């Protein structure tokens, strides 16, 4: 059974959750603890209106027993399980039944949960039948050896190149979301919303870099990086269709890693959708490690 945390206990529960989630995030993503705390604080602030801090209560025995706690969020039609404490982990099936009941009552269509290395309670829930991996976050520690990108170099996009790049970006990202299980209308809405949020000033948006990849005088690909504030992150990499299967994807990623290391970043992160195994194979080969798997349960598939 799930029960709202009492008003008296809410401040303490919020602080405990912030500390726990920040420590896991710092450990899995190679962040300093202060940076990880700031990230979690931003999530908490942005999702405050849709957040719920709940007790997990085991019933059916002589006395109720507090078996753990849950922090829930909401994104559109999806209930997000942001944090779980559960003892024992064998309670995961009962917890899922309670989550499904609550999500349906709230009109949700799916339940999502991120599992970082060491998240035993989250992993126990995501391992239950019906969940599937939608996407994986990965990271490369830039202190490690990075392969030479060879003759490939990066240069900033011109405004005209950026306009062409962005015009296809909304459709491309929406297509990725559709392939990962989202309906097309919702995917287009989500893609437009994210682009507007990430790029308020277009090519001059703070903290963002846009590059074309060159071999000699030929453009072979495009790269979108976040290099301002927090860890560096690859938002998009694209090899031009007529230049594929020539090793340019690896070269662009290596050039991006070298560039971010020169800027002083210790880690370069990225997201890869589960329906793109070739990209995942490339990142595995380049030494990226998993920092989070995002699992989704479609409530229509639950009896």
Residue 61 confidence (pLDDT) = 59
Q: How far is CA 24 from the centre of its chain?
A: 14
- With a cut of 50, list the residues of the chain below it in pLDDT: none
pLDDT at position 154, please?
A: 98
What confidence score (pLDDT) does residue 227 get?
Answer: 95
Please report, for the chain, the start and end positions of each structural domain, with discontinuous segments joined by +. Answer: 2-133+296-301, 152-286
Omega of the bond leading into 88 within 30 degrees of 0 (cis): yes
Domain with residues 2-133+296-301, CATH architecture:
3-Layer(aba) Sandwich (3.40)
Q: CB-side exposure of 222: number of CA atoms within 13 Å?
A: 17
pLDDT digits (tens, 9 = 90+) for 51-74: 999 999 887 656 778 889 999 999
Residue 285: C-alpha distances to residues 87, 176, 254, 276, 279 (Å): 37, 22, 12, 15, 10
Residue 205 Cα distances to 195, 196, 225, angstroms? 11, 10, 11
Same fold, 2-133+296-301 and 152-286: yes
Top-tier CATH class for 152-286? alpha beta
Dihedral sign from CA coordinates of 107, 53, 97, 271? positive
| Global confidence as pTM | 0.87
CA distance 187 to 212: 26
What pLDDT, on a 0 to 100 scale, did the predictor assign at position 187?
A: 79
Identify the pLDDT of residue 174. Answer: 82
Q: pLDDT of 127-164, one tens digit each?
A: 999 999 999 999 999 999 999 999 999 999 999 999 99
Give the per-residue pLDDT at 88.
Answer: 80
């Amino acid at each position: 059974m799930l029960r709202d945390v009492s008003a008296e206990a809410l401040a303490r529960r919020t602080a405990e959750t912030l500390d726990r989630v920040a420590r896991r995030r710092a450990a899995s993503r190679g962040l300093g603890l202060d940076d990880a705390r700031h990230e979690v604080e931003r999530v908490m602030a942005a999702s405050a209106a849709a957040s719920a801090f709940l007790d997990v209560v085991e019933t059916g025995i002589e006395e109720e027993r507090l078996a753990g706690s849950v922090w829930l969020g909401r994104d559109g039609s999806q209930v997000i399980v942001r944090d779980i404490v559960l003892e024992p982990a064998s309670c995961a099936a009962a917890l899922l039944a309670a989550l499904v009941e609550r999500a349906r009552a709230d009109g949700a269509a799916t339940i999502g949960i991120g599992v970082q290395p060491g998240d035993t309670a989250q992993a126990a829930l995501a391992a239950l039948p019906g969940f599937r991996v939608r996407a994986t976050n990965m990271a490369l520690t830039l202190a490690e050896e990075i392969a030479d990108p060879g003759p490939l170099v990066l240069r900033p996009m011109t405004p005209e190149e950026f306009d062409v790049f962005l015009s296809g970006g909304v459709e491309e990202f929406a297509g990725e979301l559709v392939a990962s299980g989202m309906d097309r209308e919702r995917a287009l809405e989500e893609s437009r919303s994210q682009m507007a949020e990430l790029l308020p000033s277009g090519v001059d948006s703070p903290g963002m870099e846009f590059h074309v990849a060159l071999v000699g005088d030929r453009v072979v690909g495009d790269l979108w990086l976040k290099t301002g504030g927090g860890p560096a992150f690859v938002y998009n990499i694209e090899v031009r269709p007529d230049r594929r299967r020539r090793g340019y994807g690896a070269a662009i990623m290596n050039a991006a890693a070298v560039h971010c290391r020169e800027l002083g970043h210790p880690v370069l992160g990225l997201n890869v959708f589960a329906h793109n195994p070739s990209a995942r194979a490339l990142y595995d080969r380049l030494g990226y490690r998993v920092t989070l798997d995002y699992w989704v349960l479609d409530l229509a598939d639950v009896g």
